[in-house]
Amino acid sequence: MPLHRVTRPGLLALGALALVPTSASAIGISAAPKCVKPGALTTVTMEYSPVGPSQQTRQLGRTIMVPNVYKATGKGGGLKERYAVTSPFAPITYAPSTRLPGTLDPRFTQQVQLPSATTYDKLPVLSYSTRVEAYDASGTTFYGFDGRTIDIEVDVPRVLPSGTRVRRGGSLNVLAVGYGAGRKGYTHVVGPQNKRLRRVEVPSSRAGSCGRRLVSVSFRGAKPATYRLVLNTSRTSRSAKGGASAKVKVTR
């Protein structure tokens, strides 16, 4: 399914379209699956409030995904709007409402493909802030996206320290991604002789997510040298196979 990038001028142009009030407002957005590998497919669904038969103003919708990257601050952030990806138009359907007899339930469903990119501006992408924009049948009258967004997480194991250097005896915040979704993960501090300094447990995350936890890792006892941070699901293995690793230099 073809996708195309929307440049910043293109996004600004959307704001110039006429905003027309409508009685249908978004009541929920969902995605399945929510943890998706780069380049893979997921399905986005938007539910709207019931409307009368004569109020079928929203006819077309499209999904827009904005990458959310990780900055070396110990947390995710920095939405890159200029890298937003938009899908083609897809129809909004109307079915008899089971909640309010005599009305219709607008519903939008679209299968979308995540970009294959794993970084933007050399920063690792963690998720896509996803929204649906509604239009009339011609695709020219824009009804907005009602402020509803959902994060679609990128299924790539990562261990992301808040810095690449740490003073001897200090500590770093480390974002562990890809493990902990319904099970424990571990971040191992491994020295230059492949000796483990310590192991930090990554608590389990909510089911269905890719697993994303911020943990504090102490370098107490480390000598000045380059250490590896290894993320995996083993209490004893220091291998990054199937997991992730990063280097941190311990200074005096």
| % of the chain beyond a pLDDT of 90 | 69
Average pLDDT over residues 69-77: 68
Counts for the chain of helices (H) and strands (E), in that order:
1, 21
Highest mean pLDDT among 21-35, 70-84, 85-99, 192-206: 85-99
Average pLDDT over residues 22-48: 91
User: Tokens 């230099």 — which residue?
Assistant: 249
**Least confident interval from 8-12, 107-111, 129-133, 146-150:** 8-12
Q: What is the pLDDT of residue 179?
A: 75
Q: What is the pLDDT of residue 22?
A: 47
Residue 57 has pLDDT above 60, yes or no: yes
- Length of the chain counted residue by residue: 252
- In contact, 174 and 163? CB cutoff 8 Å: no
**pLDDT tens digits, 160-189:** 999 999 999 999 999 999 876 677 899 999
Q: What is the pLDDT of residue 98?
A: 87
> Do β-strands 4-5 and 90-96 pair in parallel, antiparallel, or remain unpaired?
unpaired
Residue 81 has pLDDT above 90, yes or no: no
Q: What is the pLDDT of residue 18?
A: 37
Highest mean pLDDT among 54-58, 68-72, 77-81: 54-58
Rounded to a whole number of angstroms, the distance between the first and last alpha carbons of the chain is 53
